[in-house]
Structure formats: C-alpha cells, structure tokens
A = this chain, B = another copy of it.
Amino acid sequence: MKQRIYVKTQELEDFTIDILRNSGLNETDSRITASVLLSADRRGIESHGVARLKRYVDGIKSGIIRLTPDVKTIKETPVSLVIDGDGGMGQPIAYNAMKKCIKKAESSMMCFASIRNSNHYGIAGYYSLMALESDMIGVSLTNSAPLVVPTFAKDAVVGTNPISIGIPAEKQKPFLLDMATSTVPRGKLEVFSRKEEPMPDSWATDEKGIPTEDSLKVLDNLLNRKGGGLLPLGGGGEMTGGHKGYGLGAIVDIFSGVLSSGAFGKDVYGKKGQPPEVAHFVGVINPEAFMGTDEIKKNMDAYIEMLKGAKKAEGQERIYVAGEKEYIADENNSEKLSIQSKVFDILNGLGEEFNLKLEGE
C-alpha cells in the first residue's frame, strides 16, 4: 500500500472548505480556516495541515468549537486590541484580529491584539505571512495544550507555545521565523517511536522528570497524564540552556493568556471542567515607524545575503534563513502535494457524510 497520495492543491482546499461548510461553519470562516490549513501543508508543516481537519470537525460536533461565537472587542486603543473569541474557531478569530491590526497600523504604526477564549489557530506563521503581504513586520504567538515541563519540574504545565516573527525583504524572500519554544513538537516523538529509535535526550523527560531517550514512554505518559513531557528549547536543566526555552514559552503564555485575562498554563486544557481555551497574541509593526519600508527591505536583503554567504561548515552545502525551506516547499506544492494515505482516508471518511470525495493518485 502506498504511504503517500498526491492530491491537487486547489481540490484539497475546496474539499476542506466544503467539509467545514457542511459541518456548519459559515462560508467566510470556512475559507479562512481552509486557507490556514492548506498553507501548513504547502509549507511542509503537515502536523498543522489538513491532518487536523477531523479534530476541528469533532470539536464543532462536541460544541468545544462554537459555530456562531459572539466575538467581542473588550478593549481598544490605537495600538492594541483585547478580543474575546467566545469559544469560536481559532483561525477566523486570529485572522480578523490580524486584519484589524494591519489596518490600524497603517496610521498608528503598530498594533497588537491579545486574544482570549479561542481555539487552536493552526500555524503561527500564517498570521505573520498576512503582515508580510502588507509589507509589515508580523508577530504571532499562541499558547497551547500543556505538554512542556518547566526547568526542574516534572509536570507539563506550559504549551509548545510557538513564536512567529516575519520581516519583509525586497529581492530576497521575507525572513519568517515560526518555531515552537519546545525543542521539538510532540509529532517528532511519534516519528521516533514508529522507527523504534532512541531520541536525543534534549527532547523530553520521563514521568519522574528525568531526560529520556524512550519516545514511546513519553507519549504514553502524556496521553495518560502520568508526569513528564516535552523539554523546552535547550533541553533539560540549565547547562544547555533549557531555562531559556522555558522562559520564552512563558513569554508566549503571558502575551497571549495573561495580557488578555484568558487561560494560560495548565488552564489551556480547560479551567475547572470548562472546555479548553486557547489564547493568542498577533500584531504588526509598520516599518515606517523606523527607517521606512523601502530602506528596511533593502537592509533585509543585505542581512539575508550576509547570512547565506557565510562560509559553510564541513559537509554542509547551504545555509538557510528562517522560512526559506518553507517558501521552497510552498512553491513546489502549489499545483499538487502529497499527504499521508492515512490522512487521505480520514478526509474521505469525513466526506462520506456529505457525499464529498477527494480524488488522489
């Protein structure tokens, strides 16, 4: 049996929109959500692509994701927004907040939205990309299910809390950082457990809080909340900088959940029996606030060229800058892309109910 199946990119997007619409989401929000999912698949971040669609549909069915949320702006200044997502789909909530920030920053030079009471919003990088399309600097952070252990702890009380920052360039592709603040996401442990290979000991701890190479054990512990979890960027303890990744993950939690008085830390799983709550922080800086769009884009070209032109380490053929691999993948996947046959089957399983069929080869 084939491991991967090719599908036409546009057909996959249309199919995703149809599934969401048939699940009760309105047309506009279905299009936004599908765009975020497809962007992940195109950019090679499969864990956040259409492989997530079933989880969203299940979330809608169970009521965790509300179809007609009363999204409210709780507070607004020329440079900031606090938004309550009322348990709606994360993608349209964050998308609309970012749109407002871009609009406001045209005159106010910067704007950031701290968003509470939302759901999973897909890849953080999507919202920074929106800023880049308007020649602005984009920032996108979100908290997430508590899978990461603080330095010296054995409880996973912090999310993989990603940081994405994008800066436009002129001739070069924009610089686009999009990184979890854990050393690796949970998906990497799944890959190693399937291969039955020991993983690096900077990835996760066992149920006692001790770094381990046994990925299967960690996955089981996380599933059954037995203790332990993923390690922050830098690994266990302080010797290799694990406290730095822990600090960065906390910053994401603070900007998202603390500034909005939303959920943070363990409460992202749900406060006192309530459904899960996710918080985001998205926004933009207009380069006109500093040396100006044209000049900064030229400076970025020079900076990126300097990095890429550095002498290579022995055995290496290329130095990348943040986002470059994803831009290459995005272009390669514009017409068609491959998804796991397991995911292909799940998607067609979802489609059956609505007489929707995804073609593949």
Contacts and interface: CB of A to CB of B under 8 A. Distances in A.
Interface of A: 74-75, 77-80, 82, 108-110, 112, 114, 149-155, 157-158, 163, 165, 167, 175, 177, 179, 183-184, 200, 202-203, 205, 208-210, 227, 233-235, 239-241, 243-248, 250-251, 253-254, 257-261, 264-266, 285, 287-291, 295-296, 299-300, 303, 306-307, 310-314, 316, 318-322
A73 B321 CA distance: 31
20 contacts: A77-B289, A114-B291, A157-B307, A167-B254, A177-B251, A183-B240, A209-B314, A210-B313, A234-B234, A241-B245, A250-B307, A250-B322, A253-B303, A257-B303, A259-B290, A259-B291, A261-B291, A264-B306, A265-B303, A265-B307
A251 B205 contact: no
Contact of A175 (B152, B250, B259, B321): B250
Contact of A149 (B110, B163, B239, B313): B313
A314 B154 contact: yes
Given A209-B316, A233-B234, A299-B258, A311 B80 contact: no
Contacts of A260: 290-291
A110 B254 contact: no
A112 B261 CA distance: 24
B183 A234 contact: yes
A247 to B, nearest CB: 4
A244 B245 CA distance: 10
